[in-house]
Structure formats: structure tokens, C-alpha cells
Amino acid sequence: MDRQYTRLDEARNIIDPIIKGIKDEEAKRGAYVHLYGVGLMASLIALKRGYSREVAELAEIAGMLHDLLTYVDRNEDTDDHAHKCADHAREAVLNHLKSFTTEELDMIYSGIYNHSDKHVEGHWFDEIVKDADAAQHALRNPVEDYFYNAPRVQRVLQELI
Ligand SMILES: [Fe+2]
């Protein structure tokens, strides 16, 4: 069976050249590790929570985009970065995707926009992105307490393992 060309491929075809264009090699490495790591975690969490593969696809895209601007422009790594990343993702990527409904693109945007609000519980889709972000940080180094012991991380890990 041939591999399908999916909506995720459509998104990756826009996201990958942006990451490849990052001049700073360390920022580029960080972008691949963290963004694709959070994308993978978001997909896993969505499926674990019983959502469809299509929702997992949206979650993966939100994960891949959630911090993209902070790697493209290192000056944007601020408290407000989630909102700036959401606007950047909309302009640079979401507005160019043809295979998604407006509601789906708004969900991805919202997941990115709200991903820093980890102290509050929001919309179920936003929570997938937040949990994936927290879990990716923790699982990159499971013996480091700083991320691992965060209540949100503990909750996600109990759910997954
Ligand atoms: Fe992140």
C-alpha cells in the first residue's frame, strides 16, 4: 500500500522549510527536538484520551507550531511568546493550509495561543497542547526534578504509563 499524502504532510511542507531556514544551528536543533517532540506527545495524548486520529493530527500540528517563532526569532522567547507564536503560526503556516476547516485552524491557533497558561485548565484541545509541552520537557530528561515533579507532568504521566 502506498503512503498517503496527508494533511499533516501539507503542514510539514510549510513548517520544515521554516525550520531549515533557521541560521543558528543550536536553535535549529532545539526546534526539531522540542517542536516535533511536543507534536508527537500531543498526538499520543489525544489518542489516549479517546479522540479521533483527525484530532490527533490537529494536536500534532499545534505541537509542531506552538513555539516556532521563539526559534525563528530568539528575541521572542518572552512571557508573551504564546500569543506571538500563535499570530506567527497563523500568518506563516495556518493561513496557507488548504485542507482544514476554519474551525480546525481556530482550534490549532487556540492551542498555541493558550499553551503558556499551564496553571489553569482550559478547553480540552488546549489542555492536550499544554500537557504535551510539559511532558516533552520532562521526558527529555526523566531524572531531572525541575520538570518531572510539576503537578501537570505527574498527572499526564499517570495517564500515560
Ligand atoms: Fe514549548
Tell me, in angstroms, the distance from the centre of ligand 1 to residue 138's CA. 11
Residues 116, 82 contacting (CB under 8 angstroms): yes
Q: Map residue 5 onto helix, strand or coil.
A: coil
Q: Map residue 106 onto helix, strand or coil.
A: helix
The reported pLDDT for the residue numbered 72 is: 95
Structure pTM? 0.96
Tell me, in angstroms, the distance from the centre of ligand 1 to residue 2's CA. 34
Q: Which three cell numbers stand for residue 124?
A: 480540552
Tell me, in angstroms, the distance from the centre of ligand 1 to residue 50's CA. 23
Span 135-150, mean pLDDT? 94
The Cα 26–Cα 33 span in angstroms is 11
pLDDT band at 79 (very low <50, low <70, confident <90, very high): confident
pLDDT band at 157 (very low <50, low <70, confident <90, very high): very high
Tell me, in angstroms, the distance from the centre of ligand 1 to residue 83's CA. 13
The reported pLDDT for the residue numbered 115 is: 97
Tell me, in angstroms, the distance from the centre of ligand 1 to residue 115's CA. 8
pLDDT band at 9 (very low <50, low <70, confident <90, very high): very high
Span 134-160, mean pLDDT? 95
pLDDT digits (tens, 9 = 90+) for 81-135: 999 999 999 999 999 999 999 999 999 999 999 999 999 999 999 999 999 999 9
The reported pLDDT for the residue numbered 121 is: 96
The reported pLDDT for the residue numbered 61 is: 98
Tell me, in angstroms, the distance from the centre of ligand 1 to residue 7's CA. 22
The Cα 44–Cα 47 span in angstroms is 5
Tell me, in angstroms, the distance from the centre of ligand 1 to residue 63's CA. 8
Backbone angles phi, psi at 116, to 5 degrees: -85, -10
Between the CA atoms of 104, 105, 107 and 109, what dihedral angle is there, to the nearest 10 degrees?
170
Tell me, in angstroms, the distance from the centre of ligand 1 to residue 122's CA. 17
pLDDT digits (tens, 9 = 90+) for 44-75: 999 999 999 999 999 999 999 999 999 999 88
